[in-house]
Amino acid sequence: MYFETMQNLKHFNRSQGYCFFEPSTMKFFRSHIQTRPPYGGRIFVTSEAERWGAPRMYTVRKIQDNGSIKTIGKFQQFHLRSSAHAFAQAEAEKLDIRLCKVWVTYADGGEISGQEVYLDIDSSIEDQIKRNFEPAGLDSPQIVDFKWDLVK
């Protein structure tokens, strides 16, 4: 799973029933979130202050396949914003996210042919295809078959 923007990442977190980015949660923890796109489509930096006037500390996070947010390293591990972003970039370089083409066939005979998407090769491809291409409604046509290939 690859998120091109923080807005897309936040939306997916919320759509999976999590509240990490809810305003009340952010206010409670005095959290700020990076505005630049997530590193490697999944990794981002937050900053938190323990109390009003306390210095901000930085934490590196990763969105999981199920939409939950995991801390990479330790909570508030970094004193400097630049150090947290450098660490996030290094962690993103370990991800195996690649541009792929996907072909999908639906139960009603509909098809998607050669759609380019980024897939995390180390995570379930089937789950990523379903999240990206299967309609939400139970009365909507469901995926009956798919294939994918790396874009060369």
Q: What is the pLDDT along the chain (152 residues), one digit of tens a residue?
A: 789 899 999 999 999 999 999 999 889 888 999 999 999 999 999 999 988 888 999 999 999 988 999 999 999 999 999 999 999 999 999 988 889 999 999 999 999 999 998 888 888 899 888 878 887 777 788 899 999 999 98
- pTM beyond 0.85: the answer is no
Per-residue HEC secondary structure of 23-85 comes to HHHHHHHCCEECCCCCECCCEEEEEECCCCCCCCEEEEEEECCCCCEEEECCCCCECCHHHHH
Local structure of 88: helix, strand or coil: helix
Residue boundaries of the structural domains of the chain: 6-92, 97-150
